[in-house]
């Protein structure tokens, strides 16, 4: 095997191991909605029909609370001990949670504890894995490998829906819900075991002054020692030192400065908008949503499974054909506008032609299912993965880490809010739930028109200059000695960072 081939094998192996975390995230997010419809689960955990809404809310929402805590709690581990130990720890914590979940204790509080612990592992891995992949990937394929995490997330959801659909035909016994819950252990365990075969992040090792181990890590993942690899290593050292100088003496109060605070508010708004489209709620409570459209019945798990397949296809099309061909604003606006039409029309049809309740699927029900499928396609073409890229682009290096951290926290916080409230919305509002999400989508369009700056195809320094009010990238002589400034960044510095 040639060094070039071996390098490809190793980097794609690294991506596969890391993206198991994305699959785990998706499977864990999607599996519980179907499990909550099983009579066997209700029987084993001993709650009545009048408690269904409360159990649905707590079972999904309490895990999102764990995710919110986990995404912040892992930072000290990852920064002090390394990316690799942090991901392995996330795997161990998640597997402990699965064990607690899958034991038939007949105790809902015990099951909830397992959900929280699983959430800690999922939240932690969702933050560290993308960072680890970005720090280890060659610049030529960094974007493609980064997109793979989101793609595997949709595959995880897809798999969870079909597992739920498959075990639906089992007898109403404990194994019916234990199998889909227990299968979480497979990606959870593989993620941790796979990390044992990989090296620590080269850039993390450089940051902590261990250049010998960093060189070993880089030559292993690049499968060789060449002039090009030595040049890349030197660039990494320069880049880490440059970032260290940029971030030196940072104080959190800097986030409250006018231009920085503007970015924080936009990042906050972007992830609030993402969660307010209703698509995350659909992913968690798919069978329950389809019951509003076509009535209760076994067909809802099948409709949810097809929903998962459409998510996978839509995400794949986005990654391959759409992501870099259209502007961020164009995708955000068109996505929210189409989703608004889908949700508002769905609410009107369900209001005027509600499902008969006898298991018969009417033409009105089929039409609304089609609208929800169209909604999720446009979500994956816009608000699904694009907010993550957009938020990472708008922060300058000095505040990028805390800025993105706040954005991720916002995502989990509103994920938590909608996880708790959606079952009560469906129970109390019925068709009005779709109308509410449609109204949110219209507000999102207005938010993008007035608040979102275009970043597609622009250098990070140019984006920074547009926020700082420097004309979006005019270059002029500011020193009299031949030094040119680009906003607040020198052109020589700009070229150096671009090279990296």
> Cβ contacts of residue 30 below 8 Å, gap of 6+?
156, 157, 158, 159, 160, 161, 164, 283, 284, 286, 308
Q: pLDDT value at position 495? A: 39
Q: pLDDT value at position 326? A: 84
Q: pLDDT value at position 470? A: 57
The sign one gets for the Cα dihedral 402, 403, 404, 409 is positive
Q: pLDDT value at position 298? A: 80
How many alpha carbons lie under 13 Å from residue 149 in its C-beta half-sphere? 24
What token pair was written down for 382? 């816009």
> Cβ contacts of residue 245 below 8 Å, gap of 6+?
none
All structural domains of the chain, each given as residue ranges with its CATH number in brackets, are 1-198 (1.20.1250.20), 252-457 (1.20.1250.20), 462-499 (no CATH)
- Integer-rounded Cα Rg, in Å, for the chain is 24
Q: For 50-86, how does the pLDDT look when each residue is reduced to its tens digit (9 = 90+)?
A: 999 999 999 999 999 999 999 889 989 998 999 999 9
The sign one gets for the Cα dihedral 450, 454, 460, 464 is negative
Question: What predicted TM-score, i.e. pTM, was given to this entire model?
Answer: 0.82
Q: pLDDT value at position 407? A: 86
Q: pLDDT value at position 478? A: 32
Which of 209, 131, 190, 153 minimizes the C-alpha distance to 27?
Answer: 153
Helical ranges in 318-396 per DSSP H: 328-352, 363-380, 386-394
pLDDT in tens, the chain (500 residues): 788 899 999 999 998 999 899 899 899 989 999 999 999 999 999 999 999 999 999 999 999 999 999 988 998 999 899 999 999 999 999 999 999 999 999 999 999 999 999 999 999 998 888 888 888 888 777 666 777 787 888 899 999 999 999 999 999 999 999 999 999 999 999 999 999 999 999 999 998 999 999 999 999 999 988 898 999 999 989 888 887 888 788 888 888 888 889 999 999 999 999 999 999 899 899 999 999 999 988 889 999 999 999 999 998 898 788 877 888 899 999 999 999 999 999 999 999 999 987 767 899 999 999 999 999 999 999 998 888 878 878 888 788 878 888 888 888 899 989 999 999 999 999 999 999 999 999 999 999 999 998 888 776 668 778 887 754 443 333 333 333 333 333 333 433 433 34
Q: pLDDT value at position 488? A: 38
Q: For 361-391, how does the pLDDT look when each residue is reduced to its tens digit (9 = 90+)?
A: 899 999 999 999 999 999 999 998 888 878 8
CA separation for the pair 223, 190 (Å, rounded): 24
Q: pLDDT value at position 499? A: 39
């Amino acid at each position: 095997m040639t060094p070039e081939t071996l390098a490809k094998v190793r980097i794609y192996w690294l991506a596969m191991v890391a993206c198991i975390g994305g699959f785990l995230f998706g499977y864990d997010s999607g599996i519980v909605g179907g499990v909550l419809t099983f009579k066997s689960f209700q029987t084993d955990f001993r709650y009545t029909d009048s408690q269904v809404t409360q159990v649905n809310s707590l079972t999904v929402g309490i895990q999102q609370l764990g995710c919110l805590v986990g995404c912040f709690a892992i930072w000290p581990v990852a920064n002090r001990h390394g990316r690799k130990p942090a991901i392995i720890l996330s795997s161990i914590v998640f597997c402990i949670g699965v064990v607690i979940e899958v034991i038939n204790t007949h105790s809902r509080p015990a099951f909830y504890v397992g959900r929280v612990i699983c959430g800690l592992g999922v939240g932690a891995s969702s933050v560290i894995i993308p960072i680890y992949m970005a720090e280890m990937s060659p610049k030529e394929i960094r974007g493609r490998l980064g997109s793979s995490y989101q793609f595997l997330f949709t595959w995880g959801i897809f798999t969870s829906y079909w597992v739920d659909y498959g075990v639906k035909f089992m007898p109403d016994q404990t194994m019916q819900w234990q199998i889909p819950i227990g299968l979480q252990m497979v990606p959870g365990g593989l993620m941790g075991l796979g990390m044992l075969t990989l090296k620590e992040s080269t850039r993390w090792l450089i940051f902590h002054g261990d250049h010998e181990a960093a060189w070993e890590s880089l030559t292993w993942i690049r499968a060789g020692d060449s002039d090009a690899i030595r040049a890349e290593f030197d660039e990494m050292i320069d880049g880490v030192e440059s970032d260290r100088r940029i971030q030196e003496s940072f104080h959190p109060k800097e986030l409250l400065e006018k231009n920085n605070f503007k970015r924080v508010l936009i990042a906050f708004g972007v992830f609030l908008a993402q969660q307010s489209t209703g698509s995350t709620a659909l992913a968690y409570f798919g069978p329950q949503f389809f019951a509003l459209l076509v009535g209760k019945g076994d067909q809802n798990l099948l409709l949810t499974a097809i929903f998962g397949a459409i998510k996978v296809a839509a995400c794949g099309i986005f990654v391959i054909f759409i992501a870099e061909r259209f502007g961020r604003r164009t995708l955000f606006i068109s996505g929210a506008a189409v989703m608004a039409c889908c949700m508002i029309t769905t609410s009107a049809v369900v209001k005027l032609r509600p499902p008969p309740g006898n298991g018969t699927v009417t033409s009105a029900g089929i039409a609304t299912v089609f609208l929800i499928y169209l909604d999720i396609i446009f979500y994956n073409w816009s608000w699904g993965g694009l907010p993550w890229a957009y938020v990472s682009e708008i922060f300058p290096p000095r505040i990028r880490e805390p800025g993105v951290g706040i954005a991720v926290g916002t995502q989990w916080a509103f994920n938590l809010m909608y996880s708790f409230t959606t079952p009560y919305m469906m129970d109390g509002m019925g068709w009005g739930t779709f109308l509410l999400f449609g109204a949110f989508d219209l507000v999102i369009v207005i938010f993008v028109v007035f608040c979102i700056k275009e970043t597609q195809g622009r250098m990070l320094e140019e984006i920074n200059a547009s926020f700082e009010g420097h004309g979006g990238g005019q270059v002029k002589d500011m020193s009299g000695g031949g030094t040119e400034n680009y906003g607040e960044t020198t052109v020589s510095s700009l070229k150096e960072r671009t090279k990296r």
